[in-house]
Structure 1
Amino acid sequence: MPDPNSLYGPLDPAQDAGWSSAPPRMGFFTDTSVCIGCKACEVACKEWNGVPGSGLDLLGMSYDNTGALTANSWRHVAFIEQPRPAGHRSPPFAGLPTGVPASATSAAVAAETAGPTGTEPGLPAGSSSAAARMATDVLGDPLGAAPGNGGAAPGNGGAAPGCGGVGPRSGDAGPRHAHAGPGDGRAGAEFLGMPGAQPPGRGTGVQGRGDFRWLMMSDVCKHCTHAACLDVCPTGSLFRTEFGTVVVQEDICNGCGYCISACPYGVIDQRGDDGRAWKCTLCYDRLGAGMTPACAQACPTESIQYGPVEELRERAASRVAVLHERGVPEARLYGHDPHDGVGGDGAFFLLLDEPEVYGLPPDPVVTTRDLPAMWKRAGIAALAMAAATVAAFVGGSS
């Protein structure tokens, strides 16, 4: 008879599964704030576990070419594109300098720009820094000047000796350099709405700038404390390891698919060619040899961190506190609470938006939680029907 607490509430999953001298529970902490979407974890997972290729699928709706966790993608790096106006969250790029760059100032001095000849995007009219940049060539010399002498060569209209055609041509409306003064009919360079070199919103402020951001998350099986897939598997193909993880034994799986519908996260999937269920094993073979799982080993930014779950939870709480101090109040943990609907996950996440944005259920609940009560009600109903049947026969015979 299983412990009545095995379907809900905090517990040690390995000991509950019968491991008397189990090591500390191991798991993943995925910090999405430092995920760069490189998909190294996906490749490492496939290479180590011999997972078949998923094909090159262009979804047509995202740069994410995997789409979801499947039988052939045990790790899935989700790309969430958000073309939302800035201001819905903490201001991006807060604290950037708002002054004119030194390079533009130097260019204005070198070009001797006079008068309000142009504007920098987001700056009021009258700024000459943009005109100064447009009045210089790629080497920083004023247009029409001989290279290296900072001015026009005499007698040839600004062209260097022997370089006909560099200076102003006959018929030009005016000189091509920025020495024209206001009111002389020879306008200097003008800002025509072209993108400038400044960071977006330098002059307009954060609230006036549109902000397109990518949220990236390397999703994986959560290795739940209360794993419904374990409860419904009829063959024992799914089992709890001594590390507290959940593994599928593919040679025992009969392809019934019960675990697929039981998973509250939609992680488990069947392969079309054999019908068996497949998912992340948290590299059980590597754990037994004292090695780090392949995905965590390959992650270049340490977005995927592997270790004892209790230690990871402390590390995750510290990371959230740091992000809050740095002006990211939307940072939150997901799947870390042992009192949630699945008893806490062995693989949990730091998110920068609501769980639904990442395709995660906001309040997951183990789907077998109510099985004891359901069987109890079914038993009472069966007894009631049997009693009614007996009463009917007894009453009819009398």
Structure 2
Amino acid sequence: MRHEQSFYGPLADPAADAGHRDHPPRMGFFTDTSICIGCKACEVACKEWNNVPEDGLDLLGMSFDNTGMLGASSWRHVAFIEQQRPLGDQDAGLSGLPTGPTGTDATAAAVADALPAAERGGGDLGTAPVHLGFPSFDLPGAAVGAEGRTDFRWLMSSDVCKHCTHAGCLDVCPTGALFRTEFGTVVVQEDICNGCGYCVSGCPYGVIDRRPDDGRAWKCTLCYDRLRGDMEPACAQACPTKSIQFGRLDELRERAARRVTELHEAGVGEARLYGHDPQDGVGGDGAFFLLLDQPEVYGLPPDPVVPTRDLAQMWKYAGMAASALLVASATAFVSGGRR
């Protein structure tokens, strides 16, 4: 098996580090946000399979986003990010436009030139004008015509627990409720969790959360029960566009690299991978993403660092400080006794 490089050493293997011998390959998610359509099938499938309780039906004033963020009752969260930018070649109904989402003046000019000649049937794509019965308030994309629809684009992304190579939540759990599986994933055992909340502050992504009714922590398990039954996780199974891809982590990384190359060659220069690098502040993620903009746009930290990364060094310095204090105290005591 090919091991990963990380700040913990040249052969970081989370399952082996946790004591699993002859374990299967590390499994994970690759989420290609460039083909996410925001259908939320992953959210529904996750809740149905894992018996995750309903967590609200309010739209929160943010497009069709009714979950807002990951939490104890939202193990998958589909984000809808609106940007005042041309659609580029993402709209199949427009022809002659530049390939890929860009915000340059040249792209805007090309969009303006192509629109008058673009044929828009509207029926098949669902773009025929519809009176909604309430004012649009000049929101991005509120106009029903072809020209109005190019004023903005949606970035859609299904977020999930990253199942870090070096998981801060796992490091700080005092009861052993969190454990590393033979697949390299991180799972919470709700019957052992005492609700202390240390794991919440130990996650660099703000993923893990506690439910208000009993205070216990919950998060994505990467469908551990399904993995043990040789099935793929429910969210990946339900994704209609295969935006969520499940498999061996090393193979997913190779596939993701090829996908980025394809997008760059097609003119989508903003395509980038997030969480794939074993040299980052968490040793690489078990769930990583292809993004079409900066991580901050998606609500992701640009440079995540596991809080416990420097824990050994901190204890070393604390021990040195304690030793120095003891020596100083002993010296003062002896000097005082002589006087």
Same fold (TM over 0.5): yes
Name the structure 2 match of 1:200. 147
SS of residue matched to 1:229: helix
Distance 1:102 1:229 in 2: 53
Tell me, yes or no, if the aligned pair for 1:67 and 1:78 is still in contact at 8 Å. yes
Tell me, yes or no, if the aligned pair for 1:6 and 1:16 is still in contact at 8 Å. no
User: Relative to structure 1, is the Cα distance of residues 196 and 354 closer, same or farther in structure 2, using a 3 angstrom cutoff?
Assistant: closer
**1:220 equivalent in alignment to 2:167:** no
User: Relative to structure 1, is the Cα distance of residues 85 and 37 closer, same or farther in structure 2, using a 3 angstrom cutoff?
Assistant: closer
Distance 1:100 1:269 in 2: 51
- The within-5 A match list for 1:89-168 is 91=107, 100=117
- Name whichever of 369-378 and 346-355 sits farther off: 369-378
Tell me, yes or no, if the aligned pair for 1:9 and 1:338 is still in contact at 8 Å. no
Structure 1's unaligned 5+ residue stretches are 104-194, 202-208
User: Relative to structure 1, is the Cα distance of residues 373 and 240 closer, same or farther in structure 2, using a 3 angstrom cutoff?
Assistant: same
Which of 301, 323, 326 is matched with 1:386 structurally? 326
Q: Quote the offset at 1:234 in angstroms.
A: 0.3
Q: Which amino acid aligns with 1:382?
A: A
Q: Quote the offset at 1:84 in angstroms.
A: 4.0
Distance 1:93 1:15 in 2: 55
User: What fraction of aligned residue pairs are identical, expressed as a percent?
Assistant: 74
- The within-5 A match list for 1:1-398 is 8-9=8-9, 11-84=12-85, 88=103, 91=107, 100=117, 199-200=146-147, 211-398=151-338
User: Relative to structure 1, is the Cα distance of residues 28 and 294 closer, same or farther in structure 2, using a 3 angstrom cutoff?
Assistant: same
User: Relative to structure 1, is the Cα distance of residues 48 and 210 closer, same or farther in structure 2, using a 3 angstrom cutoff?
Assistant: closer
The count of aligned residue pairs is 295
Tell me, yes or no, if the aligned pair for 2:86 and 2:107 is still in contact at 8 Å. no
- Name whichever of 84-93 and 293-302 sits farther off: 84-93
Tell me, yes or no, if the aligned pair for 1:7 and 1:368 is still in contact at 8 Å. no
User: Relative to structure 1, is the Cα distance of residues 98 and 85 closer, same or farther in structure 2, using a 3 angstrom cutoff?
Assistant: closer
Distance 2:329 2:297 in 1: 54
Q: Quote the offset at 1:97 in angstroms.
A: 5.8
SS of residue matched to 1:41: helix
Distance 1:220 1:22 in 2: 24
Q: Which amino acid aligns with 2:198?
A: Y
Distance 1:245 1:101 in 2: 48
- Name whichever of 16-25 and 300-309 sits farther off: 16-25
SS of residue matched to 1:91: helix
Larger-Rg structure: 1
Q: Quote the offset at 1:60 in angstroms.
A: 2.0
User: Relative to structure 1, is the Cα distance of residues 391 and 265 closer, same or farther in structure 2, using a 3 angstrom cutoff?
Assistant: same
Q: Quote the offset at 1:81 in angstroms.
A: 1.1
Q: Which amino acid aligns with 2:30?
A: F
Distance 1:392 1:346 in 2: 53
Distance 2:199 2:277 in 1: 23
Q: Quote the offset at 1:34 in angstroms.
A: 0.3
Q: Quote the offset at 1:92 in angstroms.
A: 7.6
Normalising by structure 1, we get a TM-score of 0.70
Q: Quote the offset at 1:61 in angstroms.
A: 3.6
